[in-house]
A and B are shown apart, each in its own frame.
Chain A
Amino acid sequence: LAKTTQPISMDSYEGQEVNITCSHNNIATNDYITWYQQFPSQGPRFIIQGYKTKVTNEVASLFIPADRKSSTLSLPRVSLSDTAVYYCLVGDNYGGATNKLIFGTGTLLAVQP
């Protein structure tokens, strides 16, 4: 079972752009890539979802290269309130036999003043 891996932690300062990557080598053809944000003692919250190339919404951008084996969540101008754990979520390919949902290992983003 291929893992969906992320850096354990990242540090940033207020106002900076932050890019968090996720590696998902065995992504299935029909799988979407979704990113979630989780604060302590809360459930994960949806940020953005994409299939390929680039997706942008009011809070983030998602960059997906042509081979889709990785993805990058980009947070523009982070603030202290963006300090949280960020997870990617993708399907895992067992040769098409089974649908799976695999969360990444999570990246703790710490934003400092």
Chain B
Amino acid sequence: QVQLVESGGGLVKPGGSLRLSCAVSGFTFSDYYMSWIRQAPGKGLEWVSDISSSGSTIYYADSVKGRFTISRDNAKNSLYLQMNSLRAEDTAVYYCARVPAAGWYFDLWGRATLVTVSS
């Protein structure tokens, strides 16, 4: 069945790094744009980054630009988010999500992975 499974979250000190992964199954990964979206504890949703189906087009939210890097491996059906120079305000659950061809909304979501930035 269709599945997006995030991993790689954890506790990291301010200034540290983490690499999140999202393993996809049940659909042709290489056909879709993908996104990362985060949600701080008890807060709303914040879009983080997008990547095109080929990986050639990438967008970032201003809050993470220069610190986070999105990438994908279509051969491995996997999406990644390299997070460097982490700050306390990056603490959140991070979702990977699929972007359908019809528009830049998010029609499938993973179950998220928790990133906690604390000393």
> Do the two chains bind?
no
Residues of B within 8 A of A (CB): none
